[in-house]
């Protein structure tokens, strides 16, 4: 019956083509929205996921990685004193303004890490090394910021919040959710910046690594009783909290999600409409098949096959277009996350929405009485 | 001759808008292998209703139907498609071919539907088309063929699986007299050369010439 589906679709080439183009657009819409959403969520949690820490200690009621209040760094010692803790390191997160060559300025997300350990620092470098920020006003910027900041020449001097910093290294593909350039410097320099709420003696985070990873829920629980004025999270919890903040609290992620759903609905509606038109057009022939002994299921197969043929052809074209468009989307500074798994999952979802949309046609076949073939 | 299909006191009552219409009223008859039975009668006399019940497409309100020894009344609804598939070929007034399939594909479709097991149904479908003299039209779509050609394709399609009973409802009504005769000739040969039972519903006087037996229906009853 797959054969019949193919023949009846192919016979109406114009309609078939329009449907495929419709699914192609729907696939592009869904893949772009989901890809950008996942790309942004990965950016938002990049530093957490690459930090190698099992536990994050933050100010009370923190919502996302990007907005942290300061608290005394001395609490690091209490964390480190637990026998299960292998190490504890502070990490500063703050914001500043970077002056550009053309006189303008850009807000940047500043990460201050311990250059002796590298914890919370950049993990992928194309020039210099993370430890180069040690011992002075040195900074690392990311290659993806070049579009916003201009050429990132190693050794160049920049003005950051009224201090002069030397660019000692360039990292690769480290982005923030807010799209503000990520700037790395030493923990001590970050505390020293004449801006914001971070001052010497204060930190934004304490990161802890455990001797035994499997104990992290227990250790987090005991740290919670120890540090009543802080939020203590496993790194997974912190990732989830950050994702939830950007998705639900701010509604930013949700708008991507809703557009993706809209894309699915449009795709489903186009396929449903085509199949329905095709079914109505062939009612008499399907009735004839039923009279000749075809079972409902035989005809359902033909209808569902039509849905799948449309979905597969449109989706294949959609992913091909995405593959072509991807470099220019990424060049525009938008992180786009596409993996074989994601592409398969989205295909299954689009396929299901197409199959679901065939429901009205199937219902028409179910109630089709073959007696009709002898009438009119 | 042997009986292939038997109707015993078969009636069909339609209820429409509260009133009841007795479309077929206590009809009994036996259909024999190798015979051509012609059902005649004025419009609305119940011919189509009777034919649908013979073909196990419509269940009677009362009475019994036996096909090749099987009591059809006792079968469940979902068993009926298999009875139709095995025992019946159908020819319709308006041909009912898939417009998106070529002549040969229309026949292949039914071969596939009836569970064709070989590598490709194409040679067999072409063979059936040759039998009705349309081998050279195999790759035409129905829309590009004449009524007579379409009805011959429909006839070839009805031969798929070599069913013992062929039911034809007004097969010549949409054809001119020459094409009508060709189709009637095919139906007669089906009975006489292959020994299959053929039932024709028709107003067409030409059909009387090919029939072994004529039954007149009037208000759902057999006129004697
Ligand atoms: N589905 C139906 N519902 C109600 N009445 C019907 C239906 N089908 C047929 N009838 C009625 O039954 C009678 C017999 O119809 P039919 O079998 O089509 O006769 P014929 O084929 O001889 O013209 C007619 O009065 C017709 O109006
Ligand atoms: Mg009729």
Residues spanned by the domain of A332: 2-43+251-374
Split at pLDDT 50, 70, 90, the class of A195 is: confident
Tokens matching residue A30? 């869904």
* Domain edge (last residue) among A196, A228, A260: A228
Question: Who wins on pLDDT, A374 or A366?
Answer: A366
DSSP states of A182-214 as a string?
Answer: EEEEEHHHHHH-SSTT--TTEESEEEEEESSGG
Q: Within 13 Å and on the Cβ side, how many CA atoms surround A156?
A: 16
Q: What is the percentage of chain A residues whose pLDDT exceeds 70? A: 99
The answer to whether position A284 is within a domain reads yes
| A18-35 average pLDDT score | 91
* Domain edge (last residue) among A194, A228, A262: A228
| B165-183 average pLDDT score | 93
d(CA A57, CA A88): 10
Paired strand residues for B31? B5
| A82-101 average pLDDT score | 92
Contact A3 B97 (CB under 8 A): no
Give pLDDT, residue B5: 97
Tell me the pLDDT tens digit for each residue of A143-193.
989 888 989 999 999 999 888 999 999 999 898 888 899 999 999 999 988
Tally of domains in chain B = 1
d(CA A115, CA A169): 13
Furthest-apart CA pair in chain B: how many Å?
54
Give pLDDT, residue A376: 58
Paired strand residues for A94? A110
Residue pair B141/B105 in contact (Cβ under 8 Å)? The answer is: no
Tally of domains in chain A = 2
| A113-132 average pLDDT score | 93
Residues spanned by the domain of B140: 3-222
d(CA B119, CA B112): 11
Question: How near does any CA of chain B get to the CA of A340, in Å?
Answer: 36
The answer to whether position A52 is within a domain reads no
If asked whether residues A192 and A282 sit together in one domain, one would say no
Split at pLDDT 50, 70, 90, the class of A350 is: confident
The answer to whether position A80 is within a domain reads yes
If asked whether residues A71 and A124 sit together in one domain, one would say yes
If asked whether residues A304 and A358 sit together in one domain, one would say yes
| A341-364 average pLDDT score | 90
Partner residue opposite A292 with nearest CB, options B48, B52, B84: B84
Q: Which atom of ligand 1 is nearest to the CA of B41?
A: 22
The answer to whether position A165 is within a domain reads yes
| B29-48 average pLDDT score | 95
Give pLDDT, residue B193: 92
Partner residue opposite A371 with nearest CB, options B52, B93, B114: B52
d(CA A107, CA A182): 10
Query: Which residue has the CA at smallest separation from atom 11 of ligand 1?
Result: B23
CATH of the domain at B132: 3.40.50.300
Gap from CA of B42 to ligand 1 centroid (Å): 12
CA-nearest residue to B84 within chain A is A293
If asked whether residues A127 and A174 sit together in one domain, one would say yes
If asked whether residues A297 and A263 sit together in one domain, one would say yes
Gap from CA of B102 to ligand 1 centroid (Å): 33
Q: What is the percentage of chain B residues whose pLDDT exceeds 90? A: 91
d(CA A322, CA A28): 6
Characterize the bridge pairing of strands B19-32 and B70-71: unpaired
If asked whether residues A137 and A216 sit together in one domain, one would say yes
If asked whether residues A303 and A331 sit together in one domain, one would say yes
If asked whether residues A125 and A219 sit together in one domain, one would say yes
If asked whether residues A200 and A297 sit together in one domain, one would say no
Residue pair A317/A20 in contact (Cβ under 8 Å)? The answer is: yes
Question: Mean pLDDT, chain A, as a whole number?
Answer: 91
Helices A359-366 and A340-357: crossing angle in degrees, nearest 10, is 40
If asked whether residues A322 and A365 sit together in one domain, one would say yes
If asked whether residues A85 and A223 sit together in one domain, one would say yes
If asked whether residues A34 and A133 sit together in one domain, one would say no
| B2-29 average pLDDT score | 94
């Amino acid at each position: 019956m797959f054969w019949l589906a193919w023949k009846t679709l192919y016979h109406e080439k114009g309609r078939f083509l329009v449907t495929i183009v419709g699914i192609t657009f729907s696939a592009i819409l869904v893949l772009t929205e989901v890809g950008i959403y996942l790309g942004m969520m990965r950016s938002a949690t990049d530093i957490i996921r690459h930090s190698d820490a099992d536990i994050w200690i933050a100010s009370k009621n923190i919502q996302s990685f990007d907005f942290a209040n300061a608290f005394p760094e001395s609490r690091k010692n209490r964390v480190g004193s637990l026998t299960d803790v292998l190490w504890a390191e502070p990490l500063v997160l703050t914001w500043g303004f970077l002056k550009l060559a053309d006189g303008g300025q850009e807000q940047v997300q500043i990460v201050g890490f311990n250059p002796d350990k590298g914890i919370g620092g950049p993990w992928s470098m194309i020039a210099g090394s993370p430890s180069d920020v040690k011992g002075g006003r040195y900074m690392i910027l990311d290659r993806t910021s070049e579009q916003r900041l201009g050429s990132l020449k190693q050794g160049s001097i920049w003005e950051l919040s009224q201090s002069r910093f030397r660019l000692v290294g360039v990292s690769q593909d480290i982005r923030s959710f807010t799209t503000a350039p990520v700037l790395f410097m030493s923990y001590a320099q970050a505390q020293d910046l004449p801006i914001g709420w971070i001052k010497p003696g204060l930190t934004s985070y304490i990161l802890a690594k455990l001797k035994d990873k499997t104990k992290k829920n227990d250790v987090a629980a005991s740290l919670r009783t120890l540090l009543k004025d802080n939020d203590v999270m496993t790194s997974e919890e912190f990732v989830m909290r950050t994702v939830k903040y950007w998705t639900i609290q701010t509604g930013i992620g949700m708008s991507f999600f809703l557009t993706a759903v809209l894309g699915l609905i449009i795709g489903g509606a186009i396929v449903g409409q085509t199949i329905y038109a095709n079914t109505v057009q062939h009612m008499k022939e399907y009735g004839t098949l039923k009279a000749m002994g075809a079972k409902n299921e035989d005809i359902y197969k033909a209808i569902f096959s039509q849905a799948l043929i449309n979905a597969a052809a449109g989706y294949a074209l959609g992913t091909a277009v995405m593959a072509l468009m991807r470099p220019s989307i990424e060049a525009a500074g938008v992180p786009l996350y596409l993996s074989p798994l994601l592409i398969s999952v989205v295909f299954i979802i689009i396929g299901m929405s197409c199959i679901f949309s065939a429901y009205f046609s199937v219902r028409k076949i179910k109630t089709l009485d073959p007696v009709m073939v002898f009438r009119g | 001759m042997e009986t292939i299909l038997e109707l015993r006191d078969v009636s069909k009552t339609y209820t429409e808008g509260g009133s009841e219409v007795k479309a077929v009223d206590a009809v009994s008859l036996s259909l024999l292998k190798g015979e051509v039975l012609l059902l005649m009668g004025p419009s609305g006399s119940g011919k189509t209703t009777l034919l649908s019940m013979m073909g196990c497409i419509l269940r009677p309100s009362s009475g019994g139907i036996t096909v090749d020894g099987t009591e059809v009344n006792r079968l469940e609804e979902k068993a009926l498609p298999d009875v139709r598939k095995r025992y019946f070929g159908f020819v319709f007034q308006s041909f009912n071919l898939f417009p998106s399939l070529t002549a040969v594909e229309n026949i292949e479709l039914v071969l596939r539907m009836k569970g064709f097991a070989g590598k490709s149904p194409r040679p067999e479908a072409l063979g059936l088309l040759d039998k009705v003299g349309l081998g050279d039209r195999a790759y035409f779509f129905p829309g590009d063929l004449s009524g007579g050609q379409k009805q011959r394709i429909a006839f070839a399609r009805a031969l798929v699986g070599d069913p013992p009973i062929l039911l034809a409802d007004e097969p010549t009504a949409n054809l001119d007299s020459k094409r009508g005769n060709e189709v009637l000739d095919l139906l007669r040969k089906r009975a006489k050369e292959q020994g299959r039972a053929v039932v024709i519903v028709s107003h067409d006087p030409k059909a009387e010439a090919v029939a072994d037996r004529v039954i007149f229906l009037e208000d759902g009853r057999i006129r004697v």
